[in-house]
A and B are shown apart, each in its own frame.
Chain A
Amino acid sequence: MIIRKKYLFYALAFASSIIAASVSAIDATISQIYIPNPWAFSFSCFIVGIIISLLIVLVFSIPVKGRSLGSRVIDPSFKRLRLVRKEELKYHIPAAVGNAILTIGYLSLLSILGDPSTVLPFSQIVILYLILIESITEKNMPTLSEIQSSIIVTFGAILGSISLTGTINLASLAIVFLVVNPAWVLFSINQRKLKILKVDNRPNDALNIRFWNVVFACLFTAILAIIYDFIVGGNNFIEGIAASINHFSWVALTMGVTFFSYVFYIRALGIGKASVTQAVRASTVLFAIPFSILISYFNVIPPFTTDPVMILIKIIGTILVILGIVSFALALVKAYVFINIKPGYSIEETMDKLWTIWGVTRVTAIAGKYDFIVKIRTRTLVKGYEQIIQKLEEIDAIKDYKWQSVLKEWEKI
């Protein structure tokens, strides 16, 4: 089946964000009632997470009519649970460090603020960090529209993060900017690299990536907890183990649901740019509101104010986040450039020169009428001319080229 790639991308990213919003309500309940210590809660999440993720991956490894259940239901690239490969380690380790720090930071925020609809908007500011990283790693400079969209999302997130109980906490802002968002960038970028990595000549699968991420993150959380205990003289490591035994069912619930949220997120990351995936996932802010109202109704968090000004601010913030998402998603130009080179020039050297041009996502040497087909991804046609055509013309080997703008595209997922 071949479908328009963007439909699957948005379905995965939105499913991931709805599930993430429900997880935040479960986390808030556990944090407020059962495990108030964020270090113990984080460590218990990963201990229980290994067991739950292992069970889920084993179930999805069951073969059904020649293919695994996971490949039919979740990710077509999945075959079965496998050991982590050597080439994956360089991405798994930073992703796990990111996830360990992110979880501790996020649960600390939740224990300070309580209300998930307040905590989640804060984490959307990560989009600024992602744009910066993409401009370095993916050879793609941010355009004015990208900057505008990320500013809209950021301001929307700040307004949306004002609690409906009317409070804003400065300590939480420091955790957001210095701990949660940098850790999320580390986690997100490396998960994307893992997803686009080929293992045994097949695309890597989201289920194995998630399972091994939880295993490594557990190890790093244990190390961080031991170091923290050693410095401040606490007992978080032991409390984490105790919490995972005493509140196993609650932690298992949150980790089971989180598993699916991440699997969908990793698959979306493998399809779209990290910043666009993050932009769509920002809709968690909107989906978190009904969950917050629900747990407030059950007195898990303090009741919401009925002050119309506070409600208005929250609504404006949510609308801004969604506006930012839409403007992000709509601005993208793709093109093929067919190139012929002059006799006497090396194909491989020309290929390397083409690859250094910003916005070039694929360079293909072909046999036939043309020597190269180059795939371009850019935010605007103006940028396409300034950054790509002008650079192409500087390469001596190029005899002529033809630009073919992509109007619509379908891809096998």
Chain B
Amino acid sequence: MINAYILLTMRTGDSGKAILEMRKIENVEKISVVAGEYDIVVRVQVKTLESLLKVTNKIQMIDGVKKTTTSVIEKEIAL
């Protein structure tokens, strides 16, 4: 399994509608609306890098998404 964070910068507008669209994407595990450099942090879980590309594409197609920065997870420690 490949896990990745996709950091989103949004255009000012209806972010609620964009989040609703993101929630429908199958491989999206978590969506966090944040305050700071980015607007939304999305965590995805996919089987292949090709699937990751598909998910990133789907997110980029959503109206309101200005820029995406994808970071693939190499190692993780969690509770």
Contacts and interface: CB of A to CB of B under 8 A. Distances in A.
Contacts, number: 91
A196 B79 CA distance: 8
B17 interface: no
Nearest to A409: B32
Most chain B CB within 10 A, of A196, A361, A362, A368, is at: A368
B38 to A, nearest CB: 6
A412 interface: yes
Contacts of A196: 79
Nearest to A352: B77
Nearest to B42: A410
Interface stretch (A11-19, A28-36, A226-234, A398-406): A398-406
Chain A interface size range: 35 or more
Contacts of B23: 2-3, 410
Contacts of A351: 75, 77
A410 B30 contact: yes
A410 B19 CA distance: 9
A369 B68 CA distance: 12
B74 interface: yes
A402 B36 contact: yes
Interface in B35-79: 35-38, 41, 69-79
Contact of A407 (B1, B5, B34): B34
B28 interface: yes
A361 B78 contact: yes
B28 A406 contact: no
Contacts of A369: 7, 69, 71
Contacts of B69: 368-369
B74 A365 contact: yes
Interface string A377-413: 0000000000000000000000000111111111110
A356 to B, nearest CB: 10
B10 interface: no
A76 to B, nearest CB: 13
Contacts of A338: 37
A299 interface: no
Interface string B24-35: 100011111111
Contacts of B37: 338, 402, 404
B77 A336 contact: no
Contacts of A410: 19, 23, 30-31
A365 B33 contact: no
A362 B5 contact: no
B46 to A, nearest CB: 13
B72 A405 contact: no
A370 B31 contact: no
A409 B76 contact: no
A404 B78 CA distance: 19
A407 B33 contact: yes
Given A2-B23, A367-B72, A405 B77 contact: no
A362 B77 contact: yes
Contacts of A409: 30-33
Contact of A405 (B4, B28, B35, B73): B35
A406 B34 contact: yes
Contacts of A365: 73-76
A373 B5 contact: yes
Contacts of A336: 32, 34, 41
8 contacts: A2-B28, A351-B75, A362-B76, A364-B75, A367-B74, A369-B7, A404-B37, A409-B31
Interface of B: 1, 4-5, 7, 19, 23-24, 28-38, 41, 69-79
Interface of A: 2-3, 138, 196, 201, 334-336, 338, 347-348, 351, 355, 361-370, 373, 375, 402-412
**Shortest beta-carbon contacts, A-B, top 3:** A368-B71, A404-B36, A366-B71
